[in-house]
Amino acid sequence: MSNSLVVDAETTRTGEIKLHGPEGFEGMRRAGRLAAECLDALSPLVAPGAVTDELDRIAREFILDHGALPACLLYRGYPKATCISINHVVCHGIPGPRQLREGDVVNIDVTVIVDGWHGDHSRMWGVGAISPRAQRLIDVTYEGLARGLAAIRPGARTGDIGHAIQSFVEQQRCSVVTDFCGHGLGRVFHDAPNILHFGKADTGELLRPGMFFTVEPMVNLGRPQVKVLADGWTAVTRDKSLSAQCEHSVGVTETGVEIFTESPAGLFKPT
């Protein structure tokens, strides 16, 4: 599994990139909003002592109670509804008995399926008081995503997104993880194109109205290398440095970008 994930991130797909119409935008708005509402509901529970498996249970029940499905549950055998990645865990942390502790940097990643459409979304939190280095990592990751999203408009290319993220993150003396990437989505969870969070401007796929994909940079305080633990999922930094991530699902519009996973409660920006 670790190898296949790494290969996913590095293989250029030849698959067609789907272009969606108004019906697709409507579907993605509903899926994206539910994913954001799910994390809005979890947000006040992210505190010292919270058990990650309990946060996952609450997310799963929230999703099912709203007539949706948790896309991650049993996806390629994944055992939970959410990924909860703490400190040096880069992504795909599996919820379990671990309690959140003051000072942790945590990401919760949730994907919902509403009427067949996928809303994929993740946020970062500092648990209680966190170190200045941890806060800086969160700020750089948030701004990295913002700069990637700002590069999206018809006529731009996927490489412009990666370049915007990487140039900012490295200027801040952090590193971008290259083994995992964003992805097309819609009725399919992980589709073409790959959205690399690094790269050269004016390279890659041309962005066109109706394309749907995620942008979900993983940023490390130390080196970019990762490894996947024996559970086949949990990706960690090789140098044990802190890692952070946040993710939006978006659509390319006639004039720019529409973010489907904006928080109705205004809770996306980490405080």
Q: Which residues contribute to the site for ligand MF3 (CB under 6 A)? A: 72, 75-76, 78, 83, 92, 109, 111, 120, 214, 216, 233, 247
Q: With respect to ligand MF3, which residue has the nearer C-beta, 214 or 220?
A: 214
According to DSSP, the residues that pair with 227 across neighbouring strands are 236
**How far, in Å, CA of 19 to CA of 28, rounded?**
13
Question: Taking CB under 5 A as the rule, does residue 56 contact Co ion?
Answer: no
Q: Which of 214, 220, 245, 261 binds Co ion (CB under 5 A)?
A: 214
Query: Which own/partner pairs from 5-14 qualify as long-range (CB within 8 Å, at least 24 positions apart)?
Result: 5/92, 5/179, 5/180, 5/228, 5/235, 6/179, 6/228, 8/181, 8/190, 8/194, 9/178, 9/179, 9/180, 9/181, 9/194, 9/196, 10/179, 11/194, 12/194, 13/192, 13/193, 13/194
- Residue 69, beta-bridge partner list: 113
For residue 120, state whether it binds Co ion (rule: CB under 5 A). yes
| Smallest distance from ligand MF3 to CB 182, Å | 8
Q: Residue 104 or 120: which CB sits closer to Co ion? A: 120
Could you give the CA distance from residue 95 to residue 85 in angstroms, rounded to a whole number? 8
Beta carbon of residue 257, minimum distance to ligand MF3 (angstroms, whole number): 18
Q: Which partner from the list Co ion, ligand MF3, none does 249 bind, CB cut-off 5 to 8 Å by kind?
A: none
The backbone torsions φ and ψ at residue 125, rounded to the nearest 5 degrees and listed phi first, read: -135, 145
Smallest separation, CB 83 to ligand MF3 (Å): 5
- Cis peptide upstream of residue 48 (ω within 30 degrees of 0): no
Tell me how far, at minimum, the Cβ of 101 lies from Co ion, in Å.
Answer: 24
The one of Co ion, ligand MF3, none whose footprint includes residue 92, by CB under 5 to 8 A per kind, is ligand MF3
Task: Encode burial over 211-223: b for 16+ CB neighbours within 10 A, e otherwise.
Answer: bbbbbbbbbbbee
CB of 8 to ligand MF3, least distance (A): 10
What is the token pair recorded at 3? 């190898």
Closest to ligand MF3 by CB, 198 or 233: 233
Check residue 158 for interaction with Co ion (CB under 5 A). Answer: no
Nearer to ligand MF3, 164 or 228 (CB): 228
State which residue, 130 or 263, has the beta carbon closest to ligand MF3: 263
Distance of CA 36 to the CA centre of its chain: 12
Least separation, in Å, of the C-beta of 246 and ligand MF3? 10
Applying CB under 5 A, does 191 fall inside the site for Co ion? no
* Kind of pairing between the strands at 89-91 and 69-70: unpaired
Q: Which is nearer to ligand MF3, 60 or 130 (CB)?
A: 60
Q: Which residue has the tokens 């993605």?
A: 28
Contacts with Co ion by CB under 5 A lie at 109, 120, 214, 247
